[in-house]
Chains A and B, each alone.
Chain A
Amino acid sequence: MAVGLSGFAFGVTSASAGLSILQTCALSLLVFTGASQFALVGALAAGGNPFTAAAGAFFLGTRNAFYGLRLSQLLALPRAVRPLAAHWVIDETTAVSLAQPDRRAARLGFTVTGLTLYVLWNLTTLLGALGAEAIGDTDAWGLDAAGPAVFLALLAPMLRTATERAVAGLAVLLGLAFLPVLPAGVPVLVAALAAPAVLWFQGRAADRTEKGTDR
């Protein structure tokens, strides 16, 4: 249900960002990781060049590599199947697989969740793209708020400790401060530096506490 709505919201957002129905559906079929797709069409709508726009989407997709690492041990798939299975390595399939009691159930959970979501995500994307044309002025319906709301809903459960909150706060400041002065798509990449910056400051603070015991 949630995937259905965000698929629809993605279709609408992408179509109102100026992508054709074919381009919108190609993204859902070929990329199949929601946050990266929203980020890409957002950057293109803002006039970003294809390289910076794709870079933002790519960095958002890095988490899938770590999901794949955990699934690789859990599912122990034959090498020949891995390139096919890779396309379905996303937040939801990882969560379902990790929740299963054994390897058999995990493989089944991965396959069923992957197939269901892939079909649902692509169908609702198509409906959204078609719907956007029928609706006309999507802004009047507030649909331009769907993208940021999806991002916020993904972000909220990640803000567990002060570290995550510091990274988020710094990223908001950097992202907004550089928006008027740098080309579209670049400010979000600058904001990504908030992650290593906060880690570096934490490392320094930890060093200083250790040295502080000498004084």
Chain B
Amino acid sequence: MIVWLAIGLTAAGCYLLKLVGLLVPAGALERPLVQRLAALLPVALLAALTAQQTFSTDSALVVDARAAGLAAAALALVLRAPFLVVVAAAVAVTAGVRALGG
């Protein structure tokens, strides 16, 4: 039931965000500070989520095979690999390190 509540809230919230952009008059969201903040908010959230989902198990900080997987993804990104290769590299390296007992 709790999961359905979270799904309902997220679906409603994310839909309203999409709709509001199409409905508000142009110019309402065009103030430079609002634009800057809107561009930086995903940067902060994605960076924090990447770190948390790599370096934690529940509420404990850990370094395990996922760290190697993320390093592989970062290397793939530096080499300008396509999205598919980036994710596949992370998955394959994580699985490989675990198979070796890491």
Contacts and interface: CB of A to CB of B under 8 A. Distances in A.
Contacts of B89: 149
Interface string B71-93: 00110010000111011111111
Contacts of B6: 40, 44, 50-51, 53-54
Say what secondary structure dominates the interface of chain B: helix
A149 B90 contact: yes
Given A145-B91, A167-B47, A156 B77 contact: yes
A186 B93 CA distance: 30
A194 B52 CA distance: 15
Contact of B21 (A50, A71, A172, A199): A71
A179 B5 CA distance: 24
Interface residues of A, number: 99
Given A42-B49, A73-B26, A175-B47, A36 B10 contact: yes
The interface residues of chain A, by DSSP majority, are classed as helix
Contacts of B60: 180
Give the bracket for the number of chain B residues in contact with chain A: 35 or more
Interface string B56-80: 1011110001100110011001000
A83 interface: yes
A70 to B, nearest CB: 8
Nearest to A40: B10
B73 A69 contact: no
Given A27-B10, A149-B90, A5 B84 contact: yes
B49 A188 contact: yes
A174 B48 contact: yes
A191 B3 CA distance: 24
A149 B69 contact: yes
Residue among A89, A139, A149 with max Cβ neighbours from chain B (10 Å): A149
A151 B49 CA distance: 7
A27 B69 contact: no
Contact of A142 (B2, B49, B54, B65): B65
Given A69-B21, A172-B48, 13 more contacts: A6-B83, A36-B14, A39-B45, A46-B58, A50-B6, A67-B21, A68-B21, A86-B15, A86-B22, A142-B69, A142-B94, A145-B90, A164-B40
11 contacts: A27-B7, A30-B7, A35-B46, A42-B52, A54-B6, A54-B10, A61-B14, A142-B93, A152-B77, A176-B55, A196-B37
